[in-house]
Each structure stands twice: as structure tokens, then as C-alpha cells.
Amino acid sequence: MERKGSNGIVLPDGNLNNPSLTWLWRWCEGKAKSLAVVGLPEETFRSADATVKASLVFLKRFSKDDQKAWDAAWTAAKATHDAAFEAERDKLCDAFGTRIISGDDKDAARVLKELSAIGIERVPPAWFSADAPPYPKGISATKLKKVGWADSAKDRKKAAALVITRRLWETSDHFSPGSTLGASRSRW
């Protein structure tokens, strides 16, 4: 399609609304202005024995100036929103980290406090950005690192005694399935 050229495409709604095709919409957004999306009734292609629900998508390709303006707007919006979202993610991890670790259970909190006093601490989950998807201007997903353990205990005998308590705690209902003990697991 030429610069500033227009195009109309018939797309099945399965392709139009499919989350796995987000890359296609992201690519189209960066190349052309969406003029209209017109839903067609199911009867449209009945004469061809097709019962597919489809839509007409009308696009107009960006001029060079439109392309530059779009890229600048995308960059500015991403910079603004990334900082705000990172602050919100930090706030949520801080607010819920201790609740995730102890499960709001007083006995679990007590055991964790005793472990912490000798240098074995439960590490709360922390967020990180996953790799950006390969399509243009892709936004990376937010993921959480699993809860783990940090071990800097000096008194190994006391640590070993509390480890038994910890193992009992992990096998009880307080331990969340799927969480790991991190790299220190092999020593316990």
C-alpha cells in the first residue's frame, strides 16, 4: 500500500478478536490509521455455504510525517507510563509481600521472626519485566519472582533446630504450593 493509501480488508472475527494476534494489531497501529471496523452479519457469506462472522477493516497508511508523530507519541507515552507502572508495581509488592510470606498467620509470622533473628529470612516476591514480545512496539508482561529464602545464619545449631520447624511449617497448610526455597534448598 502506498503512503497515505487506503485499504479495506475482510477479516473473520476470530482473527480480529484473537489475543494471540495482538502483534498484528500492534503492527497495523504503527503503520496505518484505522478508519473503521464494520461488523458484517453472519448471513453475508451464507450463499457460499460459509457461516463465519466477519468484519470489514478500513485502514489508511501513514504519511512520513504521520509515522514520525506516531513514533514520538508512542515513545513519550511509554516513558511516562512505564515510570508510573513501575512505581505501582513496587508499591503492590511492598504492600502485599509480608502477607504473601506469612499468609496472615500469626504462628507462621512468629516462626519467620525466629528464623529472621538467626539470619534465615523469607524473601518476598519481587516483580520483573519479562522479555518484550518480538512484534513492533511490544509491551513486556509483568512477572513475579517466587518467594525464596536468604540464609546468612552464623549459629548453625540453632538454625538446624529451626529448620525442623520450618520443614513442618512448609508441609502444613501455610506453605503455598509451587513456591521454592531458592538456591539454599539443597543445604536443608
What does pLDDT average to over the chain?
Answer: 80
Q: Is 47 exposed, middle or buried (0-12, 13-18, 19+ CB in 10 A)?
A: exposed
Q: Give the percent of the chain with pLDDT over 70.
A: 82
Encode pLDDT of 19-73 as tens digits: 888 788 888 888 899 899 999 988 888 888 888 889 999 999 999 999 999 999 9
Cell numbers for 25, please give them. 494489531
Pure H helices in the chain: 13-16, 22-31, 64-102, 106-117, 156-171
Cell numbers for 77, please give them. 507515552
Residue 157 is predicted with a pLDDT of 74
How many Å apart are CA 99 and CA 103, to the nearest integer? 5
For the four alpha carbons of 36, 42, 47 and 52, in that order, the dihedral sign comes to positive
The amino acid occupying position 64 is K
In contact, 110 and 81? CB cutoff 8 Å: no
Pairing type for strands 54-61 and 32-39 reads: antiparallel
How many Å apart are CA 9 and CA 38, to the nearest integer? 10
For the four alpha carbons of 61, 65, 66 and 67, in that order, the dihedral sign comes to positive
Encode pLDDT of 118-139 as tens digits: 887 888 888 888 887 776 677 7
Q: Give the percent of the chain with pLDDT over 90.
A: 13
Would the pTM count as exceeding 0.75? no
φ, ψ dihedrals at 24, nearest 5°: -65, -45
Count Cβ atoms below 10 Å from residue 65 Cβ, excluding itself: 8
Q: What is the mean pLDDT of residues 7-20?
A: 84
Cell numbers for 144, please give them. 513475579
Residue 166 is predicted with a pLDDT of 66
- Biggest CA-to-CA distance, the chain: 81
How many Å apart are CA 78 and CA 72, to the nearest integer? 10
